[in-house]
Chains A and B, each alone.
Chain A
Amino acid sequence: MTGDQLKLRVAAIQDIAPTLRLVRFENADAGPLPPSATGAHLQVVLQAPDKQIRNAYSLISKPGSRDAYEIIVRRVPESRGGSAYIHEQLQTGDLLTTSWPGNLFAPQRSARKHIMIAGGIGITPFLSYVADFAGKGIDYELHLCCREEEKDSFAPWLPEPDKVFVHWDADGHRLDIPALLLRQPANTHLYVCGPDFLTDDVLEAAEAGGWPDNHVHCERFGSALSGGEAFRAVLQRSGKQIEVGEHESLLEAIEREGIEVPCLCRGGACGVCLTNVLDGERKRPAKSSSQSLVIP
């Protein structure tokens, strides 16, 4: 459903913390929304005054619900425009174009136990996990690493507080990742979503602790992909030359020129946008496994 689009109306906006905004979308067309699965995300097209921005946000609404989709957006100082637009411009009643929900981060249903580690706003996919797991007797632990002042911000979405552990940067409150990963029962699955430094720490600790790699799952924020050295790209099929700025990804620059690119996650995870480098020198680190391929 990569190409299919939805028309949604902003039904409600609520600030749950100074930099956290909850947005509720309903179908602008008649009828129920397509069902979304646990861990799914939505690609939202935001029409800022000077440019169009496409961002992927995890759905926090209860999986399968068809009356509304909900997302929580963190306002970031180095915003590429998306979070600033949602925090400053977006109004109740606005109409937006989005993708169908996509899912690259589904829980492993055969797991005996689930351990989720979230860094800050990286909790959002896990809010849908918890909405799915709660009350079903599923063994899980959610570890949230966040600022101390936000330790309770997500409480309304966490119906089983005894399975939630909040950590922050102060003595006695930091998460000891290697200790957490030690001695977990067989068939435990580990999920991490957060900034790269947290994800890397968790992946490293899992490897050091002997976790089989197919029991470790991560969803990285897309921001790592969206900037770097400015460069010029020549698009073979359209013949266009485009200047890619420091604060944008090649994908965003291509879309700015009005060219449609098949894409799904906007974070380098799914590979839908993967394409060939025909000629020239790479200006940014490769996000793909091959030097001749690029995730724009």
Chain B
Amino acid sequence: MMHSDIKSRPAYQALVPDLAGSRHLLVVEGETLVAGRLEELVQVFAPVQATLHTWLAGASTPMAGLGRLWQLESAADVVDALACASRGYGVGDRLYVQGTEPFLWSVATAAAVIGFSEKQLRLHHAGSLRRRVWCTHCHGTTEGVTTSIVACGGCGRHLLVRDHFSRRLGAFMGVQIDAEVPGEVPTTEEVFP
């Protein structure tokens, strides 16, 4: 699904509770909670149900069985909530995230800011392959990119979406595709559905 020849790309894992953890926070991007997935998560997280908190972002699905539940509007709300959570979650706790790649990294970088270490974190990619693209020219980011070439939301240049990924930005590198011959832009293809 996430095929790439670049070995430095992050590897994502299936979500399994780390029983060594003291408390467990599961953050799910609502649109990736496809039919049957909720039941799977409930089953997988059953062993830590008593110490599980679940934040569901961007979907109001009636649900039970994933510990204490909070419904949040968007990824931005998750990031805000995490920024305020430094007193609530500590060094013994675990964070699990399911979502698209931009969502995973928005949450992962917010968690890193409040001090979560990599070993406390598990990321599971689900849903769309759409990318956040960072423009090497204007340093703007363009969200929700599903095509091989995209017009930069910052400067309007036509960017080739490369496979190079930045964990810090949670984004892929975009470079101007018609720098040599301005205006010569190849056909755009839908490659990250």
Residues of B within 8 A of A (CB): 18, 20-23, 86-87, 89-94, 114-117, 119-120
- A181: which B residues are within 8 A, CB to CB? 92
- Tell me which of A187, A210, A214, A215 contacts B20 (CB under 8 A): A210
Judging by beta carbons under 8 Å apart, are A186 and B119 in contact? Answer: no
**Residue in A closest to B87 when the chains form the complex, CB atoms:** A185
Judging by beta carbons under 8 Å apart, are A185 and B119 in contact? Answer: no
- A182: which B residues are within 8 A, CB to CB? 22, 92
Judging by beta carbons under 8 Å apart, are B86 and A215 in contact? Answer: no
How many residues of chain A get a CB closer than 8 Å to chain B's CBs? 17
For residue A38, give the distance in angstroms from its CB to the closest CB of chain B.
21
**Residue in B closest to A212 when the chains form the complex, CB atoms:** B119
- B90: which A residues are within 8 A, CB to CB? 183-186, 188
* Given known A-B contacts A181-B92, A209-B92, A215-B91, A186 and B20 have beta carbons under 8 A apart: no
Judging by beta carbons under 8 Å apart, are A188 and B91 in contact? Answer: yes
Check if A211 is an interface residue, CB within 8 A of chain B. Answer: yes
Q: Mark A165-197, 1 if CB is under 8 A from B, else 0.
A: 000000000000000011111111000000000
Judging by beta carbons under 8 Å apart, are B93 and A112 in contact? Answer: no
* Given known A-B contacts A184-B92, A185-B90, A212 and B115 have beta carbons under 8 A apart: no
Question: How far is A188 from B114 in the complex, measured between Cα atoms in Å?
Answer: 11
- Tell me which of B18, B94, B116 contacts A187 (CB under 8 A): B116
Judging by beta carbons under 8 Å apart, are B119 and A112 in contact? Answer: no
Could you list 5 examples of A-B contacts with CB < 8 Å?
Answer: A183-B92, A187-B91, A210-B91, A210-B93, A212-B91
Check if A207 is an interface residue, CB within 8 A of chain B. Answer: yes
**Residue in A closest to B115 when the chains form the complex, CB atoms:** A187
Judging by beta carbons under 8 Å apart, are A214 and B119 in contact? Answer: yes
For residue A195, give the distance in angstroms from its CB to the closest CB of chain B.
25
Check if A246 is an interface residue, CB within 8 A of chain B. Answer: no
Question: How far is A181 from B117 in the complex, measured between Cα atoms in Å?
Answer: 16
- A188: which B residues are within 8 A, CB to CB? 90-91, 115
Judging by beta carbons under 8 Å apart, are B92 and A210 in contact? Answer: yes
Question: How far is A215 from B120 in the complex, measured between Cα atoms in Å?
Answer: 11
For residue A107, give the distance in angstroms from its CB to the closest CB of chain B.
16
- A212: which B residues are within 8 A, CB to CB? 91, 117, 119-120
- A210: which B residues are within 8 A, CB to CB? 18, 20-23, 91-94
For residue B151, give the distance in angstroms from its CB to the closest CB of chain A.
39
Question: How far is A277 from B187 in the complex, measured between Cα atoms in Å?
Answer: 65
**Residue in B closest to A111 when the chains form the complex, CB atoms:** B115
**Known pairs A182-B22, A187-B117, A188-B91. 17 more at Cβ < 8 A?**
A182-B92, A183-B92, A185-B87, A186-B93, A186-B116, A186-B120, A187-B115, A188-B115, A209-B22, A209-B92, A210-B18, A210-B23, A210-B93, A211-B92, A212-B91, A212-B120, A213-B119
